[in-house]
Structure 1
Amino acid sequence: MGTTFGLGELGFLIQGLKWTVLLAAIAFVGGGIGGLGVALARTSTSRALRRITGGYIAVFQGTPLLMQLFVIYYGLGLIGLTLPAWVAVAIAFTLHASAFLGEIWRGSIEALPKGQFEAAKALGLHYVPRMRDVILPQALRIALPATIGFLVQLIKGTSLAAIVGFIELARAGQIVSNQTYEPLLVFSVVGAIYFALCWPLSLYGMRVESRIARAAAR
């Protein structure tokens, strides 16, 4: 007979939530840095850079995240590079996020009117100050709703990390469910935690999108 779901089990779920949030934060920050590089390469004048980053995006957008986790964790082990589960999943999610964020931000850069680029050049701004002070602030503002939406998907996607033994919120819920034999109760709590984490972000993203649409209509 299993134990009853109580404060101890809830505390274990909160520990899993901590790792979910940490993994999502690492992937989002690392993916943001990598994604910026991908976006700049995709919009550069170098054909080689555009092709390389285009292939990178195609690989990570065209294959399941679950497979990417397998390749990073087990594939590196086959060549003698054994990583702790949390390091392997952090690398996999960071690479995954950089591909998606890079494409989101590339689209936002290319969505800007050509006059913005021409005006920046007319002011004599070189590439770095032109992108830093003129182009990227506008592009990232346009991309903010889609970026927030991707963050929500990233948080929910962390549940796949359990496949390599990483104990995040969904895996913690599975463990508690196996101990208590109360799957409906346990996963209702897990779902409520995910909802409490993701819904405010989704709501914020919708508000930002609405605000941008109103500003564009003026």
Structure 2
Amino acid sequence: MGVIGQNEMLFLLQGLKWTLLLSAIGFIGGGLFGLAIALARTSERSVFRKIAASYISVFQGTPLLMQLFVVYYGIALLGVSIEAWMAVAIAFTLHASAFLGEIWRGGIQAIPKGQTEAANALGLHYFSRMKDVVLPQAFKVSLPATIGFLVQLIKGTSLAAIVGFIELARAGQIVSNQTYRPLLIFGIVGAIYFIICWPLSLYGARLENRMAKAVR
């Protein structure tokens, strides 16, 4: 069995860096596109609602692993050379936008209609109505679910290894193959995931309990 030294731990930390970076890109990019999807899903125009609903159905109804394959190899078939990290970032952004869009759609529709009617009575146009009245409340309502999805997104980055992207789980596999200590290495990898995800899950659960008490 090989020795697990400084170089091996630094390699794992390098993989952790890419896991966090990929999660941030997917969550931020998915948030921006997800907001557009949520607004389209709650639009008064049926064509926007149908397009957004179809988009969500595609990405929620297919495995993330398949989405990674389609983006990575699909872009290559178009004759465009793309690095693995870019393809993975695009796939995770599209994936996250569908889920966040649906989460925030629920938040928007959870806001009492009286809020919108009051904004209309004050003469606020659509942009001001959404920015100042509806969206702040909708984001607050949907925050626990948003945090829950972020946790799933962080863990889902482990699938990026399928197209050659070296994140934390793939880095652990490489170190395990070099040291022949899979139980120890993946125990360390699992502990790192737990340290990242457990506080987020705990925070989301506390927010959910706090909101439930406020409703009562």
Q: Which runs of 4+ in 1 moved over 6 A?
A: none
Instruction: Give 5+ residue unaligned stretches, structure 2.
Output: none
Whether the 8 Å CA contact 2:2–2:181 is kept in 1: the answer is: no
Give TM-score, length-normalised by structure 1: 0.98
* Equivalences for residues 1-218 of structure 1 within 5 A: 2-217=1-216
Q: How far did residue 123 of structure 1 move? A: 1.1
Q: State the distance in 1 between where 2:206 and 2:5 align.
A: 37
Q: State the distance in 1 between where 2:81 and 2:72 align.
A: 8
Q: Amino acid of the residue matched to residue 188 of structure 1?
A: G
Give TM-score, length-normalised by structure 2: 0.99
> What is the count of residue pairs matched by the alignment?
216
CA RMSD of aligned residues (A): 0.7
Q: State the distance in 2 between where 1:91 and 1:78 align.
A: 16
Q: State the distance in 2 between where 1:125 and 1:50 align.
A: 23
Q: Percent identity?
A: 71
Instruction: Give 5+ residue unaligned stretches, structure 1.
Output: none
Q: State the distance in 2 between where 1:216 and 1:94 align.
A: 33
Aligned to 1:143, the other structure's residue is in SS state helix
Q: State the distance in 1 between where 2:213 and 2:132 align.
A: 24
Q: How far did residue 7 of structure 1 move? A: 2.0
Q: State the distance in 2 between where 1:157 and 1:40 align.
A: 26
Q: Amino acid of the residue matched to residue 35 of structure 2?
A: L
Alpha-carbon deviations, 1:53-106, whole Å to 9, x = none?
Answer: 111000000000000000000111111112100000000000000000000000
